[in-house]
Amino acid sequence: MDQSSSCSSRVPIQNNRYPSFYCNCATIVALKERTGDNDGAAAVLASAINRWSNSMTENNKLSILILEDASFKLRHGQEEEASRLYEKIVKNVKAQMH
């Protein structure tokens, strides 16, 4: 799978000012996951979320990364952690609405 197909199927980047950030993250996660390095894939997601939350104020972009992390956790049997992440997304959305 080439990088562009990985990006378009994993992360919505069409209206994004940072498409290469998402694309690179999605590609690395997909490659690590396919080679069985689930811990490495999870570490990439955690690092991206940490970096984004520390350097940007755009919560919608952070929510995209958190959503991807939650989906990853569900695929790998970490339901409680995924649930915690989904709850975090809901709280972020509610906070943005007020």
> pLDDT for 59-91, tens place per residue?
667 788 888 899 999 999 999 999 999 998 888
Q: Which domain holds residue 92?
A: 3-97
User: What's the DSSP call for residue 36?
Assistant: T
pLDDT of 6 above 80: no
User: Does the pLDDT at position 10 exceed 50?
Assistant: no
**Confidence class of residue 7 from pLDDT cuts 50, 70 and 90?**
very low
Q: How far apart are CA 31 and CA 42, in angstroms?
A: 12
Helices (H) then strands (E): counts for the chain: 5, 0
Angle of helix 59-75 relative to helix 19-34, nearest 10 degrees? 10
At 18-41, the pLDDT tens digits run: 567 777 888 899 999 999 999 999
Query: What's the total number of domains in the chain?
Result: 1
